[in-house]
Structure 1
Amino acid sequence: MPQVSAEVWVPVDVDTAFAVSQTTGEVRLRWDPFIRSQRLMDAERPGVGVHTLTRARVGPKMVSRYVSYRPPKSVGMTMETGPWFFETFGGGWRFVAAEQDGVGGTTARWKYTYSVKPGWLRPIAEPIGQWLLGREIRARIAAYAKACVDPDVVAAIGDAS
């Protein structure tokens, strides 16, 4: 199955890095360039089994379900329903404490795994998906890195705790 991923170092502790990645609502809209809206559907807080509705800025929507939730180390989600061209789609984050130039922080890695349908279209669609989803995930993780040092975002995650 094709995968795309992006990694970034952020100058915040692992707990903060994880919390920023899991923001929803207005806080998420402040930093995530991909989404038009996102909300938890059947719970107040994320966790295994909780569903999320995400609407992309360009139109498609997806209902996904948390399949793992291990603060502050990792989170994984899988598509339950989504755009017609995805047979499967999953995403996940991993966080590891890491120093850079003597400064403490966190390395965050965001990954998508997917397959397209119909099967006969894969030889054409999957390379396009690699390019398109790769561009998207790199833009999103760059925006995430800025959010990790945005005082308003960091204050909002502190208020949500």
Structure 2
Amino acid sequence: MPIVESTVRVPVDPSTAFAVSQTTGETRLRWDPFIRGQRFADGAREPAKGVRTLTRHRLGFVMTSEYVSFAPPSNVGMKMIGGPWFFANFAGGWRFVAVAGQPDATDAVWRYSFRCRPAWLAPLLERIGTRVLQRDIDRRIAGFARGCEDPEVLAVVRAPAPDA
């Protein structure tokens, strides 16, 4: 199964980095070049294991994903439930690790794994997909890093909870 991965060090603690990665709406669009829109499905209001999201890629592809793990502030994982015809399966995982001796630094590691279809064309599609997705994940994590320095994004994730 092909895997693509990208890593970046961001100047925030792991809780803040995790929170930035889980932003939605206009806040998400400020930093995430991968998507044109994203929302929770089935009436969910926040991310959690089992929650589904609907994501529209910047090129128009639509994917329904489900959180398979949600462990703030260290990691989150999702798998595709439905999506573009050429993916037999697709999953993504994000991990956030504190940098030793640097309280306001986090290493963020994002990884995708996927399998293409139809089976007879998968070897070619997966070679192409690896290149395309590597470019996408590199751009996406660079956008995430910008989000971790964006005062507007940080204000949203650091704001007190509505019932606090």
**Structure-1-length-normalised TM-score:** 0.95
Aligned counterpart, 1:76: 77
AA at the equivalent of 2:23: T
CA distance in 1, matches of 2:103, 2:94: 22
The reply on whether 1:3 has 2:9 as its aligned counterpart is: no
Counterpart secondary structure, 1:45: coil
State the Cα distance separating 1:98 from its structure 2 match.
0.5
Q: Please provide the CA RMSD for this pair.
A: 1.3
Identity %: 55
Q: Which runs of 5+ in 1 are unaligned?
A: none
CA distance in 1, matches of 2:160, 2:118: 42
Question: Cα deviation per residue 1:10-57 (whole Å; 9 max; x = unaligned)?
Answer: 010010000001111111011111111001113111001000000011
Counterpart secondary structure, 1:36: strand
Aligned counterpart, 1:62: 63
Aligned counterpart, 1:110: 110
State the Cα distance separating 1:143 from its structure 2 match.
0.6
**Structure-2-length-normalised TM-score:** 0.94
CA distance in 2, matches of 1:27, 1:89: 25
Counterpart secondary structure, 1:127: helix
1:69-148 to 2 correspondences below 5 Å: 69-99=70-100, 104-148=104-148
Q: Which runs of 5+ in 2 are unaligned?
A: none
State the Cα distance separating 1:78 from its structure 2 match.
0.3
CA distance in 2, matches of 1:77, 1:90: 6
AA at the equivalent of 1:130: T
CA distance in 1, matches of 2:154, 2:50: 26
AA at the equivalent of 1:69: F
Aligned counterpart, 1:18: 18
CA 1:118/1:147 → structure 2, altered by over 3 Å: closer, same or farther? same
AA at the equivalent of 1:65: E
